[in-house]
Amino acid sequence: GAVVSQHPSRVICKSGTSVKIECRSLDFQATTMFWYRQFPKQSLMLMATSNEGSKATYEQGVEKDKFLINHASLTLSTLTVTSAHPEDSSFYICSAPMARELNEQFFGPGTRLTVL
């Protein structure tokens, strides 16, 4: 069964609004989680590393004020897309390494964001 969940699975919003996406590790704790975005027919692109108890680490070119990350607990990380624009429309995926599985990354099912 799924070991990493995401909510919501898809969301449609108007330009200018903010959208929060949740990523939860099920049955294991993750001090680190990763957020990716994926455009159609392209591979995953790492956006940021979410760290429990400290600030997230953002990849070059990713605006930290635009994509707010909060690692609220050892099983929950949230990504908030602030003042969303149509170009933010994408598939957002999170992942978490499971220590008891040699830190293999388990990916969430993804969240499809459409900004009108």
Partner 1 sequence: KNQVEQSPQSLIILEGKNCTLQCNYTVSPFSNLRWYKQDTGRGPVSLTIMTFSENTKSNGRYTATLDADTKQSSLHITASQLSDSASYICVVRPAANAGNMLTFGGGTRLMVKP
Site for partner 1 contains 25 (CB under 8 A)? no
Q: What angle do CA 87, 82, 26 make, to 5 degrees?
A: 100
Site for partner 1 contains 29 (CB under 8 A)? no
Please report, for the chain, how many H helices and E strands are present, in that order.
Answer: 0, 11
CB of residue 56 vs partner 1: minimum separation in angstroms? Answer: 12
> Among residues 113, 100, 85, 111, which one has the least CA distance to residue 3?
100
Residue 92: strand pairing partners = 37, 111
Using CB under 8 A as the binding criterion, the count of chain residues that bind partner 1 stands at 25
Q: Write out the binding residues for partner 1, residues 42-81 only, by CB under 8 A.
A: 42-46, 49, 57
> Which residues form the interface with partner 1 (CB under 8 A)?
4, 6, 32, 34, 41-46, 49, 57, 91, 93, 95, 97, 103-110, 112
